[in-house]
Amino acid sequence: MTKIKKIEDIQTLSEDIKTEIRRFVVGYEDISNDLIITLLCGGHVLLEGIPGIAKTYLAKAFSGSLSLSMKRIQATPDLMPADIVGTRIYNPKTLEFEFRHGPIFSNLAVVDEISRAPPKTQSALLEAMQERQVTVDGFTLNLKEPFMVIATKNPIEFEGTFPLPEAQLDRFLMRPLMTYPGKKEEVEILSMKNIKGDVMDVKPAAEASAILSAQKLMHKDVQVSDGILDYIAEIVRNTRKHPKVMLGGSPRGSVALLYAAKGYAIITEGRSFVVPDDVKAVAFNVLNHRLIVRPNILIESPEVKEDWSYKILQEIIHEAIEQAVVPV
């Protein structure tokens, strides 16, 4: 698809992308929705889950469904900022320094195992994610549009990793938590691999012009009432007042919740207006990485150790939603 003229076209675009992803990825329909919503919002996504559940594979399938440039960055403890943004190299033929672009100069930057990159390298992503630009040796260079970072993270391995600073986590629009597939889906995965192997010949379903048009249309034509704005603000403010929370959602989190709700309204219902259920549907993935739970709560709760579904965060965000007055 090359042109987006109305809201219905965005929903069609979303279905075309998901159709291509389904050819190679079994399940994770909700995660595919999150990726598309994040793209429409002009944001970034952090896919978190245990090893072997297709985080990077899903990112590659999603990237392949778009006619956009994609570069993959494998994070390691010795990865340097120049390895991401690029560096200036002296050319003896021209007697001048030339800039060699790093992999961040692409529409889609897939950063695998982002927590393995050292803090200095992680910080190199901050300017790119927030400002859509990088600064090297005093020179500022703009990135391509659309631009999106798809990072993956393993929540169970800590050796040789570095925690992501809160400032960087806050730059991700969403953090979907990927879990094991059901038995039916796992059998389907085996069947697919038995026939296709690891070959991935994804056909692009959308071009850059269509994505940019969809982004502008979403912000311009999807209506949000004053009541919904108040509802979003109250939910985020409730996370700040929750007794189990040391640091609640920021105003950036409120904006992210607004944008994500608009994207959800379009791609799931084809609606040009937001309702409370849209906000509820995206609230957990938008807010779960923006909250800092009090240490004593984590120590006292065995649930966090027993599974990686972040039940405490689910409970906190659910209570924040329940305490907010639903607009009528």
Q: What is the CATH number of the domain that holds 30?
A: 3.40.50.300
Q: Are residues 233 and 195 in the same domain?
A: no
Amino acid 41: pLDDT: 93
Answer yes or no: do 70 and 198 share one domain: yes
The last residue of one of the domains, among 163, 179, 207, is 207
The Cα-based distances of 110 to 32, 64, 101, 188, 293 in angstroms read 15, 12, 16, 26, 28
Shared domain for 200 and 231, answered yes or no, is: no
Task: Write out the residue range of the structural domain in which residue 142 sits.
Answer: 7-207
Do 51 and 25 belong to one domain?
yes
In a shared domain, residues 22 and 165 = yes
Residue 216 maps to a domain = no
169 lies in the same domain as 292: no
What are the pLDDT digits (tens) for 155-187?
877 777 888 888 888 999 999 998 888 899 899
CB atoms within 10 A of CB 100: 11
Do residue 106 and residue 158 come from a single domain? yes
Closest CA to 253 of 266, 226, 234, 278: 234
Tell me, yes or no, whether 103 lies in a domain.
yes
- The pLDDT assigned to 305 comes to 47
Q: Is 63 in the same domain as 107?
A: yes
Does 313 reside within a domain?
yes
pLDDT value of residue 309? 47
Quote the pLDDT of residue 2: 62
**pLDDT for the residue numbered 304:** 46
Is there a domain that residue 213 lies in? no
Tokens 């020179």 sit at which residue? 139
Instruction: Give the DSSP per-residue string, 271-316.
Output: -SB--HHHHHHHHHHHHTTT-EE-HHHHHH-SHHHH-SS-HHHHHH
Q: Beta-carbon neighbour count of residue 52 at 10 Å?
A: 9
Looking at residue 264, which CATH number applies to its domain? 1.10.8.80
Q: Average pLDDT of each block of 10 consecutive residues along the chain (328 residues)?
A: 79 90 88 94 92 89 90 91 87 83 92 90 86 84 92 82 85 92 89 80 85 90 94 96 91 96 92 94 95 77 51 92 91
pLDDT of residue 160: 75
Distance CA 187, CA 88 (A): 50
Report d(CA 289, CA 46) in Å as an integer: 9
**pLDDT number for residue 299:** 64
Cis peptide before 146 (omega within 30 of 0): yes
Which pLDDT belongs to residue 237?
Answer: 96
pTM for the full predicted model: 0.90
In 3D space, the residue among 38, 77, 71, 83 whose CA is nearest the CA of residue 214 turns out to be 38
For the four alpha carbons of 271, 274, 277 and 280, in that order, the dihedral sign comes to positive
* 282 and 156 within one domain: no
CB burial readout 258-291, b (16+ within 10 A) else e: bbbbbbbbbbeebbbebbbebbbbbbbbbbbbbb
**Residue 153, helix vs strand vs coil:** strand
Judgement on whether residues 188 and 234 belong to the same structural domain of the protein = no
> 185 lies in a domain?
yes
Residue 215 lies in a domain: no
The answer to whether residue 212 is domain-embedded is no
Q: Could you say which of 207, 242, 267 is where a domain stops?
A: 207
Q: Are residues 191 and 240 in the same domain?
A: no
Considering 172, 207, 242, which residue would you say is the last residue of a domain? 207
- Per-residue confidence (pLDDT) for residue 1, from 0 to 100: 61
Token pair in block for residue 103 = 């992999």
Number of domains in the chain: 2
Classify residue 2: in a domain, yes or no. no
Verify that 234 and 203 share a domain, yes or no: no
Residues 56 and 110: their CA atoms lie apart, in Å, by: 8
Strand 86-91 vs strand 96-101: parallel, antiparallel, or unpaired?
Answer: antiparallel
